[in-house]
Homo-oligomer: A and B are copies of this chain.
Amino acid sequence: MTTRVFYLNQQIEGIPNLALGEPSSTFRLATEKLQPLKDGQVLVKALYFSNDPLQFAWINKASNENAGLRRIFPGEPMGALGLAQVVDSKADQYRPGDIVNGSFDWAEYSIVSAQAITGKIPQSSLPLTTALSTTGLTGLTAYFGIKEHVKEGDTVVVSAASGATGLVAVQVAKALGCRVVGITGSDEKCKFVQGLGADGCVNYNDPEFIGKLKQALGEKGTCNVFFDAVGGEILDKVITLMAKNGLVLVVGFISGAKNPAKMAVRNWPIVIASRLTIKGFNMSDYVHRAPEAVVDLTKWSLEGKIRNDPSVLNVVDLSEESKFADIPKAWGLLFDENKKPGKVLTKLADPK
């Protein structure tokens, strides 16, 4: 039995090269024979891959060795969080037919140790993909980032509000009783964010961005918490509208992924003057508390406070055999400002 699988060809230092077969290609596609299963291993077939900015850090040459993040080196298979179906199993916990989520290779079939599997997806009235969106890495980042740092009545600004993490952050903050204002890169995306229940949304490409944001923040014209997945110029502007002792949660840096020069934060004096706290936030510190998040997020989903329908997903369907090679391009959508709103998922197959 063979499978197609993507390997990391070289670590990235700036923009990844998603084309295949070039000397500077980031990934390399191979076809290879699957080895026989060993004890404790499971053979799975990929159903959906989650596309996450975190993968950028896994393969980034400059990633900090001390930070305890997963790293992938050239010659190793490219990894992703995803949903898969068990084909064969030598691990007691999993049986053929089980649908599981966890850490898999960018491959049609992978052999994984049972430890790489997070768990079986339970039968639920929520769509299967909820496990990769609302209750996946990005949803849980939104949940713990917001839940641990806001209180009822706070005004919360969320950047990249139409993206996978932002769209959940907006809804969690609303569920907790906050005033919520989103930031996105187009009026159309702002409409989407207001459709999620945000009290306001501002397009950062609007020449009157900061004035409109101030207005959207209400009477005080300030916010208490800024949930920021962007960094750089937008952060630089938003901190001028933060209340004294305000908190910036740094959950991403998409503005610098393409162009590191855009990471400049010049309004540093305001950090002192307004006694701001800027805090790097990473969901991996909260993995042990995932069950409580899943309980809340499922409850809010069933109450209609959080949406899990296809409108909050951006699914790239590669289930036709000939399209498998487009996996890197689907992942590259993360860096495309003009992509449609929602969590970016790559579909490989439906469960059987």
Contacts and interface: CB of A to CB of B under 8 A. Distances in A.
A222 interface: yes
A321 B250 CA distance: 54
Interface stretch (A79-87, A116-124, A257-265): A257-265
A1 interface: no
A249 to B, nearest CB: 10
A256 B268 CA distance: 8
Number of copies: 2
Interface string A235-276: 000001001100000111100100011011111111111111
Interface residues of A, number: 43
Nearest to A243: B66
Contacts of A222: 66
A239 to B, nearest CB: 9
Interface of A: 57, 60, 62-64, 66-69, 222, 231-232, 240, 243-244, 250-253, 256, 260-261, 263-282, 285
27 contacts: A57-B269, A57-B273, A60-B269, A63-B269, A63-B273, A64-B270, A67-B270, A67-B273, A68-B244, A250-B268, A250-B271, A250-B272, A251-B272, A253-B268, A253-B269, A253-B272, A256-B266, A261-B266, A263-B266, A264-B264, A264-B265, A272-B280, A275-B282, A276-B280, A277-B277, A277-B279, A278-B278
